[in-house]
């Protein structure tokens, strides 16, 4: 049998601890109150029995022997009666109630009578106290403890009502305490690559307001820091365009065609690296493209037609009649990057789509027939400037930013981009999008 597990949420854990603790405390208080009540009632009844028995024994002792039997029914009570005789022998009493009653009666009768006590064999608790009156006649006090006092009918209802009030108070207190954490997590999750998220309300208890102010200030500092780096990168890339253009003009005027071709290729790679760097920086800073509703089949079909017109072996299978709300240009770039990689490393590319009605997601898969990549590098290839030269062709080139840009665009869209090796060989790029409507 497995051990019980803690609830996963802080709300459930705090509510469980408080509710169980307060319920146990309330139950213990109720138990102590009832125990004190029963003990006080038992002591009061024991003292009452001792006084009544002492009066009854004194009365029987003063009555003539012939009249004693007639008085026995009048002297009997609910828990005890008198017997004119030696009674039933037995062992000394062991029950605590019988012992306390015997001690109280002995104290009430005093030292005038010699008493012996024993429990009567049989079902239930029963006590007999034996003594002899002044004329030597035997007298037995037969004691049978009555049932415990019943609870008042309203007492369980009040206890249940108290527990309900405690549970409601615990729920309200924990909800009030954890709501700021929930809001903080929600705003933090909404903080995308553009670093534009709503500000937390700086109100409530002092600790909560202080945490909200610190989070808002941190968000502003990070946004300003990234914007500054973005401006620096944009300025550097802009300034590099001029010397690259001048060098290209000079290369065109060179007489040595072999060296000119090599320099032209180097300049082309430098220009591509600058462009990809700027594009990656822009994706880190987010995209200003607004989401739009689009027919997914039509979008992918137009993308595939562009590749087919260019002579690339790209196919589109498993179509779906769905419309999604997404950033269209970002989606085209992500799928385009995946198709480019598939063509570069696997010579062919196939696009497939599938839908999950349960969570309303659409999955776009780009499949290739290439060699795949090592399992430990499936996440590393999303890092900027990371290239798999050992498993892929060294002559394919590239800056190592294509997948990094695609991952950043997917995050900005609220999508999930992953890679996996296909069992039959090749690689699958999988993009999971939400907000699909049939």
332 burial via Cβ count (<10 Å: 0-12, 13-18, 19+) = middle
**Average pLDDT of the residues of the chain:** 81
Output b/e per residue, 108-147; b: 16+ Cβ within 10 A. Answer: bbeeebeeebbbbeeeeebbbbbbebeeeeebbbbbebee
**Among the ranges given (156-165, 186-195, 315-324, 407-416), the one the predictor scored with the smallest mean pLDDT:** 186-195
Residue 391 has pLDDT above 60, yes or no: no
Residue 7 has pLDDT above 70, yes or no: yes
What pLDDT digit, counting tens, does each position of 370-387 carry? Answer: 888 888 888 888 887 777
* pLDDT of res. 229: 73
* pLDDT of res. 393: 42
What pLDDT digit, counting tens, does each position of 417-427 carry? Answer: 999 998 888 89
Tell whether the torsion through CA atoms of 134, 138, 139 and 145 is positive or negative. Answer: positive
Residue 390 has pLDDT above 60, yes or no: no
The helix or strand, by DSSP H or E, that contains position 65, with its residue range, turns out to be: none
* pLDDT of res. 204: 74
Task: Name the fold adopted by 292-437.
Answer: Heat Shock Protein 90 (3.30.565)
What pLDDT digit, counting tens, does each position of 66-108 carry? Answer: 888 899 999 988 888 999 888 888 888 888 888 888 888 888 8
The helix or strand, by DSSP H or E, that contains position 410, with its residue range, turns out to be: helix 402-413
With respect to CATH, is domain 10-143 assigned 3.40.1130? no
What pLDDT digit, counting tens, does each position of 191-202 carry? Answer: 665 566 677 788
What pLDDT digit, counting tens, does each position of 318-329 carry? Answer: 777 888 888 888
């Amino acid at each position: 049998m497995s051990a019980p597990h803690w609830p996963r949420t802080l709300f459930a854990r705090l509510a469980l601890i408080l509710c169980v603790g307060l319920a146990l405390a309330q139950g213990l208080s109720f138990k102590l109150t009832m125990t004190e009540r029963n003990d006080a009632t038992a002591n009061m009844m024991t003292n009452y029995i001792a006084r009544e028995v002492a009066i009854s024994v004194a009365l029987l002792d003063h009555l003539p022997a012939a009249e004693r039997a007639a008085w026995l029914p009048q002297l009997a009570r609910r828990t005890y009666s008198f017997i004119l005789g030696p009674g039933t022998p037995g062992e000394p009493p062991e029950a605590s109630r019988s012992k306390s009653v015997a001690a109280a009666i002995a104290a009430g009768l005093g030292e005038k009578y010699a008493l012996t006590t024993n429990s009567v064999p049989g079902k239930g608790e029963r006590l007999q106290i034996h003594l002899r009156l002044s004329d030597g006649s035997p007298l037995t006090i037969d004691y049978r403890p009555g049932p415990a006092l019943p609870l008042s009918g309203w007492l369980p209802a009040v206890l249940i009502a108290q527990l309900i009030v405690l549970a409601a108070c615990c729920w309200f207190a924990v909800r009030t305490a954890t709501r700021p954490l929930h809001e903080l997590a929600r705003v933090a999750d909404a903080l995308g690559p553009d670093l534009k998220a709503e500000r937390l309300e700086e109100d409530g208890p002092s600790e909560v307001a202080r945490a909200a102010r610190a989070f808002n200030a941190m968000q502003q500092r990070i946004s300003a820091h990234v914007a500054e780096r973005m401006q620096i990168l944009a300025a550097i890339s802009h300034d590099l365009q001029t010397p690259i253009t001048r060098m290209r003009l000079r290369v065109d005027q060179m007489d040595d065609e072999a060296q000119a071709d090599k320099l032209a290729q180097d300049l082309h790679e430098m220009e591509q690296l600058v462009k990809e760097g700027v594009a990656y920086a822009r994706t880190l800073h987010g995209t200003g493209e607004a989401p739009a509703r689009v027919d997914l089949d039509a979008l992918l079909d137009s993308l595939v037609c562009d590749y087919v017109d260019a002579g690339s072996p790209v196919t589109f299978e498993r179509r779906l009649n769905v419309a999604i709300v997404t950033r269209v240009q970002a989606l085209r770039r992500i799928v385009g990057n995946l198709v480019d990689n598939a063509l570069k490393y696997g010579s062919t590319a196939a696009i497939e789509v599938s839908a999950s009605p349960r969570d309303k997601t659409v999955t776009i898969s780009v499949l290739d027939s290439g060699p795949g990549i090592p399992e430990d590098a499936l996440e590393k290839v999303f890092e900027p400037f990371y290239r798999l030269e050992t498993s892929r062709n060294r002559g394919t080139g590239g800056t190592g930013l294509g997948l990094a840009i695609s991952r950043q665009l997917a995050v900005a869209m609220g999508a999930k981009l992953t890679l996996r090796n296909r069992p039959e060989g090749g690689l699958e790029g999988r993009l999971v999008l939400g907000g699909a409507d049939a």
